[in-house]
Amino acid sequence: MPTGIYFRTRETREILSLAAHTRIRAPHSEETCKRIGDAQRGKKRKALLKESIIKRTETRRKNGWMKNPESTRLKMSINNARAMEGRVAWNKGLIGYGAKENHWNWKGGKTPEVYPKEFNASLKLKIRERDKFICCRCGKTEKDQLEKIGRVLSVNHINYDKKDCSEKNLNTLCVGCNTQVNKDRGKWTIHFQEMIEKIYDNKILNNA
């Protein structure tokens, strides 16, 4: 096989980038999961490492699985600031390949919007109650998510406009689905709007 340094052409990079962002990763088969489990089963950990893992797990259970203690978050923040000191982002001022409209996730230079005050805990609870604490996309319950990651279900803006907090523009999603619906936004907007219309049409029929 030839050796040396090879540079990918722009066309090759674009093909690889497109493939990476559109690839759907299939879950492991039962046979693969069994092989991984068999390989890990029976491995002995050093006593100190085992004790450290148990202690860390107990701490995370107390603080919530997705939360680190305040002291740990402060250390992480300081370490990150030190690591980034003097560094310049690789894409700062980049023009051409991967910049602005050439990037797959370009949103037209839109600055992230802040949620309005009416999008509060009370409104979110009302929407989750309306949707019976079930994800409108995959059917996962809030109880399942709380047991797995210690978080309640998310409330999503159907038309992706954070300022539009009308009840018909909000629905309930699990953490995974709330991330996934950021792709193909037009498709999901239509899909969820049709679902919401059915919910409110049924309410009118039931109250008639």
pLDDT in tens, 64-86: 655 667 788 788 888 888 777 77
Three-class SS of residue 148?
Answer: helix
Q: How far is 143 from 139, CA to CA, in rounded Å?
A: 12
Pair (127, 189) in one structural domain = yes
Within a domain: 98: no
Residues spanned by the domain of 70: 52-82
Pair (75, 152) in one structural domain = no
Of residues 69 and 146, more confidently modeled: 146
Pair (127, 178) in one structural domain = yes
- Tell me how many domains the chain contains: 2
Pair (129, 73) in one structural domain = no
With 0-12 / 13-18 / 19 or more C-beta atoms within 10 angstroms meaning exposed / middle / buried, residue 124 is middle
Of residues 141 and 199, more confidently modeled: 141
Sign of CA dihedral 114, 116, 121, 126: negative
pLDDT in tens, 21-30: 655 566 778 8
User: Over 70: is that where the pLDDT of 142 sits?
Assistant: yes
Pair (62, 130) in one structural domain = no
Report the C-alpha dihedral over residues 103, 22, 144, 174, rounded to 10 degrees.
40
Pair (140, 62) in one structural domain = no
| 170 strand-pairing partners | 157
Residue with the two structure tokens 């910049």:
99
pLDDT in tens, 105-123: 677 777 677 899 999 999 9
Using pLDDT thresholds of 50, 70 and 90, give the confidence band for residue 36: confident
* Residue-level pLDDT at 1: 45
Pair (122, 187) in one structural domain = yes
Q: Which two tokens stand for residue 142?
A: 């809030």
